[in-house]
Amino acid sequence: MAKKEKEEKQVKKELSVSDLPGVGPSTAEKLAAAGIDTLLAVAVTSIGVLVEEAGVSEGVARKMIQAARDMMEMGFETADVILEKRQAVNKIKVGSDAFNEVMGGGFETAAITEMYGEFGSGKTQVAHQLSVNVQLPLDRGGLNGKVIYIDTENTFRPERIIQMADKMGLDSNTTLKNIKIARAYNSDHQMLLAEKSEDLLKTGEYKLLVVDSLTAHFRAEFIGRGTLSERQQKLNKHMHTLLKLADMYNVAVIVTNQVMARPNVMFGDPTIAIGGHIVGHSSTFRIYLRKGKKGSRVAKLVDSPNLPENECMFFVNMSGISDKEEWLAKR
């Protein structure tokens, strides 16, 4: 019985995109050029994308997707199987124990974590710290992984990475080489970079994808209520691309987000994240960052599938994220 199961798994493993109905050498080549080169990629791709990229009819595209899902046995599963799959999910620790506790042990892979807040609230600093910490070994809260960093506001600073790497006892030169940076100049370029990052993720070496910031270009390019629908549609597509990458390659996707103030709010905090419900529903975890007292920062977990709403205080020091301000630690 065990031998038969092994043979069946071997057959599934050997199946490829070329085995799908309607996929000849030319179509397979077009799909590969678009980054759709696995059965799973076909199974989770929309009919419209297959029609556009492979040049096939809607009927053929539908058959390709259905066949890929059948080969992958993508259907209903029992919850215990999902629990077993969840064992593959890892967490990246940040420099603050309090922050890690709020996040249930760290920032999860196979998920999108959105961090939003005003300028100076620490969003980019946390993104830098995670870019360093993910390179640490497992027993130190890392994943022995590399980083893809999409920079939309020219806020990435290699000098900051060196400071944090030195604090963590990492070789700064190696740490920098393990981070792939791309500067996005508009929303279309940003979306393209996210799609092209799949080529790097396929190597299995990359465990963190950062988009800093998510909505800056969308906010600048789509001005006025008349363009809101188009902006949200593009943003929705972008978020679904990131979600697919997180799930398919078990990487942690971190997006930072800008905020705006609601003028109709008379009491309480009027701050809300840009992107509305599209970003909110697509994000697995949502963290609101704000400035606290005496130079501190406050991280509030606003939304999570399995963790309670909670908040903590942390500091941004010269050497990175910490539970204490540096001058206090030296006392």
Looking at residue 128, what is its pLDDT? 98
Closest residue by Cα to residue 289 from 161, 125, 156, 160: 125
pLDDT digits over 107-138, tens only? 999 999 999 999 999 999 999 999 999 999 99
Neighbouring residues of 49: CB distance < 8 A, sequence distance ≥ 6 = 34, 36
The model's pTM is: 0.85
Q: How far apart are CA 66 and CA 47, in angstroms?
A: 10
Task: Classify residue 264 as exposed, middle or buried by CB count within 10 Å of its CB (0-12, 13-18, 19+).
Answer: exposed
pLDDT digits over 143-199, tens only? 999 999 999 999 999 999 999 999 999 999 999 999 999 999 999 999 999 999 999
pLDDT digits over 235-263, tens only? 999 999 999 999 999 999 999 999 988 76
3-state helix, strand, coil in the chain (%, to 5): 45, 20, 35
User: Going from the N-terminus, what domains does the chain have, and what CATH number goes with each?
Assistant: 2-71 (1.10.150.20), 85-329 (3.40.50.300)
Q: How far apart are CA 227 and CA 242, in angstroms?
A: 23
Closest residue by Cα to residue 213 from 244, 181, 184, 237: 184
Token representation of residue 288 = 């609101």
Looking at residue 76, what is its pLDDT? 83
Does the pLDDT at position 3 exceed 70?
A: no
